[in-house]
Structure 1
């Protein structure tokens, strides 16, 4: 295998609509990640409590579940371009409100959490719709490459966001981060305006509601491979995502300031950095046919990396080991990020190729609930566990549960492990 075979497959960028959305994401995702960092940092600065930071998981999870499922139902009835326009404007307005409360000097944690919940509601409708349009633009064999390209951009922004935030928060305050997010979202709005009409094939004629959501879930129950792709991701994220612990670990275990700082930024940037490296070297994903087995291997690597991260945090308390263990902790998070990127590329491609267009929005709604909701459950669980056993032990124990749970899931549903991609010769549209 040569270098050309390892680097990212860029063939999806030959489609002008996908290319426009992808380029807009390069701008938008940096601003979005500034808000991702600013919200927990502001909460921790106001309260000094990881438990309050963990509440972002609860306030993010409820709207993600409700509006993720309902948004998927909307995406199976109405023109998907229209839904993308409405939700993008909603995200812009919500980000502006984040800026307003920070500029006014508010220290009301409940106001911040409620704004976060509203933002996540718009996100929960936007993302299933955005994912559901990809199979209308690209053939199945290019979807893993397209997903890798999208995730590489998102994770690159997730590196730049924390690093910039770590520098700007002590100097400019939180309001500037929220303002930058508001402005950069305009790039995505422009890209969405350039999309053609994206009507649904065989769209339902009834008003989307609880019944259509239930029909989508019933369809999923008949697809054990797709159902298991959600289960293993929940195992990986609920037990293995320690991000709610980063403010405490940065301040307590590695000696950083409570309001942020470079260690805080590096912890937040490490997983995305690994994901970007994995994305740059993702040329191999388009050649993997046994995608189910690939997902299992990737999640096992993720779990092992989180065990290593938690162990490094525990050992940071040994005299003279703080700096070396910080390096080890960051490397473990990077390994985990690369594994998670590959897992997500395979899982999202499996979902896109196996689902009918008439239910694709609803299944993408379930996907976003799982992908984004799992880490929010983890925020609550890790925040509570850290209060009892400490941040390092909570992280390492979660990694152990990931490995055990993934092995049990693979043994329970062997058809998932045997799943293979069916290739087609469909041209780019």
Structure 2
């Protein structure tokens, strides 16, 4: 198997595929294990997204509180950080395939528990918090082990294409999943909706089972404080990877309006669960199309600058979404309802368009941030650094859930995205300008 860590960057650039507007499919053709893992994760992810949206709808139905929906983040965040980082330590010592299998079992069991609660029509909210927390923790470890394995399955020059393909799979997940969730909840209820996730998750097992053994190279420390300290020392000196993490935290903390969707669908734009699906899917479709037409991204060398520009566009799009909510608050309150026939279509179209742009910009940022990490981090450190990456991309939106939930409670539904969009643009302009090495990052000579 080709070891991408020793590929010459100049030769890699010369061997790159011809320029094309569409995503490069070479990783799928060249590495069958990567192709199977990619397909299994995509199919299982559709069910996972159904559960994410349906849990939010169920909690809102039980409590009628946007803050209660956002509290899912509060319960999941601390254990996700602790267990996720420990899982990264495991992935730097043990066979990453085995680590992923154990995590997949935990994710499936917690999903089955949520499904059982829904079928039993339990009125309690705390079991949903608990099981969602367990699911998030297991999914973090699973994703960390899977993603840390990717550079061992592909040549380094194919990593941007692999990131774009992962963007397509993510786009499919969060396009199909939320749309299906909204329709299913409205049509058949929560029990059958959660059952879809229980069934589709078997594809994740198949994708992991067919991987070859992937034992880390480089002799990392056994899991524990020394391993944690080793990873922390690396991250302190890895300015480019660290900057990519902080940039994503800024974007997701102040620009993740998803917990507003149930209230927006019920009170502001109208349309209920279907509107939730439409808004969530619009964001996902933007990400999906930015991956489908990602061919030119594989030729971008200044990937640090590209991250900064993509997140700035993201902040502007979130600001526009907040402005749509502000206008609808002024003009449309009291004239909409939770039934689809009462939806305010112009506001829905404008909000969905803003989220479409936001999803595309976020995915472009994710492609470059993931490539910077995978191309520059040594194999013996990838599990730990990848676990931090997964914690960042998972924790950021959950911090954003808390921020948006709090702002909607103390101010108004539009306040969180309006203020957050302004903060994202301002903070990115100030922060990236100060990070000279990040702005000078060259994809042909990756430096962590």
Q: TM-score, structure 2 length as denominator?
A: 0.91
Cα pair 2:306 2:365 within 8 Å, conserved? yes
Aligned match for 2:377, one of 348, 355, 378? 355
- Per the alignment, residue 293 of structure 1 pairs with 305
- Per the alignment, residue 72 of structure 1 pairs with 88
Aligned match for 1:209, one of 210, 224, 239? 224
Structure 1 residues 208 and 16: alpha-carbon distance in aligned structure 2, compared to 1, 3 A threshold: same
Answering whether residue 326 of structure 2 is matched by residue 314 of structure 1, we say yes
- Per the alignment, residue 370 of structure 1 pairs with 392
Aligned match for 2:253, one of 221, 238, 242? 238
1:214 is displaced (CA, Å) by: 2.2
Aligned match for 1:219, one of 229, 234, 242? 234
Cα pair 2:284 2:359 within 8 Å, conserved? yes
Answering whether residue 357 of structure 2 is matched by residue 335 of structure 1, we say yes
What is the CA–CA distance in structure 2 between the aligned matches of 1:33 and 1:390, rounded to whole Å? 27
Deviations 1:354-383 (CA, angstroms, capped at 9, x unpaired): 111111100001101100100001111110
- Per the alignment, residue 60 of structure 1 pairs with 76
What is the CA–CA distance in structure 1 between the aligned matches of 2:131 and 2:42, rounded to whole Å? 25
Cα pair 1:63 1:124 within 8 Å, conserved? no
- Per the alignment, residue 341 of structure 2 pairs with none
What is the CA–CA distance in structure 2 between the aligned matches of 1:212 and 1:318, rounded to whole Å? 54
What is the CA–CA distance in structure 1 between the aligned matches of 2:79 and 2:296, rounded to whole Å? 36
Structure 1 residues 6 and 165: alpha-carbon distance in aligned structure 2, compared to 1, 3 A threshold: same
1:319 is displaced (CA, Å) by: 4.1
1:50 is displaced (CA, Å) by: 0.5
- Per the alignment, residue 157 of structure 1 pairs with 173
What is the CA–CA distance in structure 1 between the aligned matches of 2:331 and 2:431, rounded to whole Å? 40
* Displaced runs of 4 or more, over 3 A: 317-322
1:265 is displaced (CA, Å) by: 1.0
Count of paired positions: 418
SS of alignment partner, residue 414 of structure 2: helix
- Per the alignment, residue 283 of structure 2 pairs with 271
Answering whether residue 410 of structure 2 is matched by residue 414 of structure 1, we say no
What is the CA–CA distance in structure 2 between the aligned matches of 1:319 and 1:84, rounded to whole Å? 50
Cα pair 1:144 1:345 within 8 Å, conserved? yes
Aligned match for 1:115, one of 107, 131, 141? 131
1:389 is displaced (CA, Å) by: 1.4
Deviations 1:97-127 (CA, angstroms, capped at 9, x unpaired): 1111111111211110000111111112111
Aligned match for 2:410, one of 388, 406, 420? 388
Cα pair 2:19 2:296 within 8 Å, conserved? no
What is the CA–CA distance in structure 1 between the aligned matches of 2:223 and 2:253, rounded to whole Å? 30
- Write the mapping of 1:175-194 to structure 2, written as runs, cut at 5 A: 175-194=191-210
What is the CA–CA distance in structure 2 between the aligned matches of 1:79 and 1:37, rounded to whole Å? 33
- Per the alignment, residue 427 of structure 1 pairs with none
Cα pair 2:41 2:207 within 8 Å, conserved? no
Q: Report the more deviating stretch, 121-130 or 170-179.
A: 170-179
What is the CA–CA distance in structure 2 between the aligned matches of 1:231 and 1:306, rounded to whole Å? 18
What is the CA–CA distance in structure 2 between the aligned matches of 1:381 and 1:27, rounded to whole Å? 31
What is the CA–CA distance in structure 1 between the aligned matches of 2:116 and 2:93, rounded to whole Å? 35
Aligned match for 2:33, one of 7, 10, 17? 17
SS of alignment partner, residue 165 of structure 2: helix
Cα pair 1:140 1:423 within 8 Å, conserved? no
Structure 1 residues not aligned, in runs of 5+: 425-429
1:240 is displaced (CA, Å) by: 0.8
Deviations 1:360-414 (CA, angstroms, capped at 9, x unpaired): 1000011011001000011111101111111112111111110011111112212
What is the CA–CA distance in structure 1 between the aligned matches of 2:42 and 2:97, rounded to whole Å? 20
Structure 2 residues not aligned, in runs of 5+: 1-17, 334-343
What is the CA–CA distance in structure 1 between the aligned matches of 2:265 and 2:424, rounded to whole Å? 24
CA-based RMSD: 1.6
SS of alignment partner, residue 317 of structure 1: helix
Deviations 1:142-164 (CA, angstroms, capped at 9, x unpaired): 11110110121112121111111
What is the CA–CA distance in structure 2 between the aligned matches of 1:116 and 1:384, rounded to whole Å? 20
**Structure with bigger RCO (C-alpha 8 Å, 6+ apart):** 1
What is the CA–CA distance in structure 2 between the aligned matches of 1:13 and 1:363, rounded to whole Å? 25
Cα pair 2:101 2:208 within 8 Å, conserved? yes
Deviations 1:175-200 (CA, angstroms, capped at 9, x unpaired): 11221111111111012111111001
- Per the alignment, residue 315 of structure 2 pairs with 303
- Per the alignment, residue 8 of structure 2 pairs with none
- Per the alignment, residue 31 of structure 1 pairs with 47
Q: Report the more deviating stretch, 58-67 or 320-329.
A: 320-329
